[in-house]
């Protein structure tokens, strides 16, 4: 196993992500205009949407990894799945919390069943369920297999939930949130795009680190097995 000092790609990724996030941050605070209705608080929006995107994208990767594992049966697919879940869970938690922090000044209450907030909460619940499922199984093979199945079925319901929640809110609008729109300008869209790109890069960097961590854990387990055999 290579020593950390030789992990060139890792260092490059960390550097790039760092730069990208700083650029995005700069744009959020200095390039994007002050929004008419909400004022400064609106600046939460960019990173909030970016983390929502990562939360969803990470889940999509877990879905693909699940298919990969069921098709191939190789441990690396399972490693990808569980790594993506850990990163995704962090980001979706970010989304929900910042969503609440955005809702309070915008609509006066910390929680509203607004579509994006609601679907993020649903994804959070699914992530947690996935984690609990993995934790409740001892056999590594079964853990990987069951998690793969759940990841696939669960992800498939997310777009359906999104539509259901959207229609539900269209028919029964929250008096609080309907009418609360944002006046978007091109600069805001650009800032959002850059934020999305920066967060995606951040996701890839963190994912890679988490995968390496899991491989190290596997290596340790193999070493332990060798040690046991020798009888140490």
Partner 1 sequence: MSIYLVAAYVVFWGLTFLLVISIWARQRRLEQQIAALQSRLEENEA
Partner 2 sequence: MGFVRKVWAIVAKDVAAELHTREMISAMLVFSVLALFIFSFALDLRGAMARAAAPGVLWATVAFAGTLGLSRSLAREQQTGCIDGLLLAPLDRSAIFFGKAIGNLIFMAVVEIVLLPLFSALFDTPLLQSGVLIVVALGTVGYAAVGTLLAAIAVNTRAREVMLPVLLLPLAIPALIAAVQATGGLVDGATWAEVGGWVRLLVVYDMVIVAVSMLTFGYVVEE
27 token code pair: 């744009």
Nearest-angstrom CA–CA distance, 131 and 119: 18
Among 13, 122, 201, 202, binds partner 2 (CB under 8 A): 122
Q: Of 100 and 133, which has the nearer Cβ to partner 2?
A: 133
Residue from 32, 52, 148, 207 touching partner 2 (CB under 8 A): that is 148
User: Least CB distance from residue 32 to partner 2, whole Å?
Assistant: 34
Task: Please select the residue that binds partner 2; options are 23, 97, 133, 197, rule is CB under 8 A.
Answer: 133
- Please give the backbone phi and psi of residue 39, each rounded to the nearest 5 degrees, phi first: 85, -150
Task: Annotate 25-85 with DSSP letters as a single string.
Answer: HHIIIIISPPBTTTBGGGGHHHHHHHHHHHHHHHHHHHHHHHHHHHHH--HHHHHHHHHHH
- The first and second tokens of residue 108, run together, are 């006066």
Is 145 a binding residue for partner 1 by CB under 8 A? The answer is no
The strand pairing partners of 35, in sequence order, are 39
Q: Which of 65, 94, 165, 192 binds partner 2 (CB under 8 A)?
A: 165
12 Cβ partners below 8 Å, 6+ apart? none
Is 90 near partner 1 (CB under 8 A)? yes
33-41, 60-68, 123-131, 183-191 -> range binding partner 1 (CB under 8 A): 33-41
Sign of the torsion angle spanned by Cα atoms 133, 139, 142, 144: positive
The binding track of 163-192 with respect to partner 1, each residue x by CB under 8 A or -, is ------------------------------
Phi, psi of 35 (to 5 degrees): -75, 145
Is 136 an interacting residue with respect to partner 2 (CB under 8 A)? Answer: yes
Closest CA to 63 of 153, 183, 176: 153
| In contact, 140 and 218? CB cutoff 8 Å | no
Q: Which of 97, 133, 149, 164 binds partner 1 (CB under 8 A)?
A: 97
Chain contacts with partner 2 (rule: CB under 8 A): 70, 122, 125-126, 128-129, 132-133, 136-138, 142, 145-146, 148-150, 152-154, 156-157, 160-161, 163-165, 167-168, 171
Chain contacts with partner 1 (rule: CB under 8 A): 1, 4, 39-41, 43-44, 47-48, 51, 86-87, 90-91, 93-94, 97-98, 101-102, 104-105, 202, 206, 209-210, 212-213, 216-217, 219-220, 223-224, 226-227, 230, 232
């Amino acid at each position: 196993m290579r020593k950390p000092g030789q992990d060139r790609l890792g260092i490059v990724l960390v550097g790039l992500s760092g730069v990208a996030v700083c650029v995005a941050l700069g744009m959020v605070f200095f390039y994007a205009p002050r929004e008419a209705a909400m004022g400064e608080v609106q600046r939460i929006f960019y990173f909030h949407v970016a983390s929502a995107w990562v939360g969803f994208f990470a889940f999509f990767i877990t879905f693909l990894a699940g298919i990969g594992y069921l098709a191939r049966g190789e441990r690396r697919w399972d490693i990808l799945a569980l790594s993506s879940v850990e990163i995704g869970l962090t980001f979706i938690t970010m989304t929900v919390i910042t969503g609440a922090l955005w809702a309070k000044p915008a609509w006066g209450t910390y929680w509203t069943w607004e579509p994006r907030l609601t679907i993020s909460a649903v994804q959070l619940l699914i992530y947690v369920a996935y984690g609990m499922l993995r934790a409740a199984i001892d056999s590594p093979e079964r853990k990987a297999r069951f998690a793969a199945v759940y990841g696939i079925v669960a992800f498939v319901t997310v777009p359906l939930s999104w539509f259901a929640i959207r229609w539900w809110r269209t028919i029964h609008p929250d008096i609080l949130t309907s009418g609360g729109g944002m006046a978007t300008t091109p600069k805001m869209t650009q800032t959002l795009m850059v934020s999305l790109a920066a967060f995606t890069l951040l996701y890839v960097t963190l994912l890679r680190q988490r995968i390496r961590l899991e491989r190290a854990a596997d290596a340790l387990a193999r070493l332990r097995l060798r040690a046991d055999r020798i009888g140490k």
